[in-house]
Amino acid sequence: MDLSWSDADRRFRDEVQAFLDAKLTPELRHVGKTLTSVYAERDVALAWQKILYDQGWLVPAWPKAYGGCEWSVTQRYIFASELAKAHAPPLSPMGLGMCGPVLIGHGTPEQKAHYLPRMLRGEDFWCQGYSEPQSGSDLASLQMSAVEDGDDFICSGHKLWTTHAAVANWIFCLVRTAKEAIPQRGITFLLIDMRTPGVEVQPILSLSGEHIQNHVFFTDVRVPKANVVGRIGEGWTVAKYLMQFERGGSVQTPGLHTRLHKITAMIEAESAGRPELADEANALRRQAADAAIQIEALEALELRLLSRLSAGDAPGAESSLQKTVGTELSQRLTEIALAAAGLFAAVYQPHMVSPGGPSPGYVVPNDPTGIGPDYAWTVAAKYLNDRAGSIYAGSNEIQRNIMAKAILGL
């Protein structure tokens, strides 16, 4: 089997590298290198989004008819790899990676014509309204109501853990339009303007001190029925389609490879000239080597999923495998990094890194110089932020149930 790049692949890689050298500014690279969250702040993400949009490379997986690239599997993997190597800041996926594909697959012509161009241009910034206080992984038990009133719905309820709700102007929600014996029925997929009267956002602070997640309260919010995606009462089908893209369909391993390279360099830097740390360093090297093997295995799965996507298929149940392995591997890398950084990881200094949102209540010290080596500044915040990885997009326990049923036939 020949796993080397073809001449055309290498030319494409060189083109991507030249683009990144020319357009990825030092400021954007700095954010990518020092990011402690999953996503960059809104203004940073939109700045990088505009550059990609102007190049025509914003949504490689979308059809060309809607502004996509329709690149081959190899091209998409090369692009993701080069983005990771160059430390490009990640884009928020709620619009481009989730709502956009849903509209392409289930939206009306009018919805596609209105929302997709605004999404691409960054005029609309989206968040996702799924989880509720009593409906997290058991999403079908959601209770946010949408009562028909002529051509509108009157929506009332409470969503939480809503990433970027404080800076988003649109939210896609699952709402209950009917109570049925089977809870998955009677759910509707609805697009809601966050500026509508009756929508209130309250912050949730993460363990790392960042304001990224939020409560969103809806009190008698009037939403046009024209904002329903798919059919009324059949939103669960739309949601399952979306969650395949949320859990899979992208590639994580280029970023994991880049992070692991940084961690192995950290292990060597911390142990250099310190023979008393030889045993500890060797233990960390073994852990890093084990993680490298697991990343290679995940990479094979991702390439297989990309191949299916290129043939027009949805990611399918294997996206649950990708999500589970990818998030747990990411958490494992944060644990190795935390051990390698040692006492330097204990210093809280968000002013020296790029949090995914503001850090309310934090006061920058009079001497803003960072404490300890720069490779240790992001370690603790990344560790704390990444604890949510095995919960969001459906907890990994739920993913294992999906795999047992849909893949193993148990």
Tens of pLDDT, residues 121-137: 999 999 999 999 988 77
Give the pLDDT band (50/70/90) at residue 156: very high
Distance between CA 144 and CA 142 in Å, rounded? Answer: 6
Q: Token pair for residue 74?
A: 């190899």
Identify the residue with better confidence: 147 or 271.
147
In this predicted model, what pLDDT tens digit does every residue of 176-188 receive, in sequence order?
999 988 889 999 9
Q: Token pair for residue 278?
A: 């030889």
286-294: long-range pairs with CB below 8 Å, 24+: 287/332, 287/336, 288/260, 288/263, 288/264, 288/336, 291/260, 291/329, 291/332, 291/333, 291/336, 292/260, 294/325, 294/329, 294/332
Q: For residue 379, give every residue at least 6 positions away whose Cβ sits within 8 Å of its Cβ, in sequence order, or none.
A: 334, 337, 338, 340, 341, 344, 345
Give the highest mean pLDDT range of 144-148, 296-300, 349-353. 144-148
DSSP letters spanning 227-280:
GEES-TTBHHHHHHHHHHHHHSSS--HHHHHHHHHHHHHHHHHHHTT-GGGHHH
Please state the rounded mean pLDDT for residues 1-29.
Answer: 90
Whose CA is closest to 326, among 304, 355, 302, 356?
302
Which fold is adopted by the domain 126-235? Answer: Butyryl-CoA Dehydrogenase, subunit A; domain 2 (2.40.110)
Distance between CA 113 and CA 103 in Å, rounded? Answer: 10
Give the pLDDT band (50/70/90) at residue 392: confident
In this predicted model, what pLDDT tens digit does every residue of 43-59 receive, in sequence order?
999 999 999 999 999 99
Which fold is adopted by the domain 248-406? Answer: Butyryl-CoA Dehydrogenase, subunit A; domain 3 (1.20.140)
Whose CA is closest to 269, among 197, 368, 341, 203?
341
* E strands present in 88-129: 126-129
Give the pLDDT band (50/70/90) at residue 247: very low
- Indicate the domain borders of the chain: 7-91, 126-235, 248-406
CB 292 within 8 A of CB 260: yes
Dihedrals phi, psi of 394, to nearest 5 degrees: 90, 125
Which fold is adopted by the domain 7-91? Answer: Butyryl-Coa Dehydrogenase, subunit A; domain 1 (1.10.540)
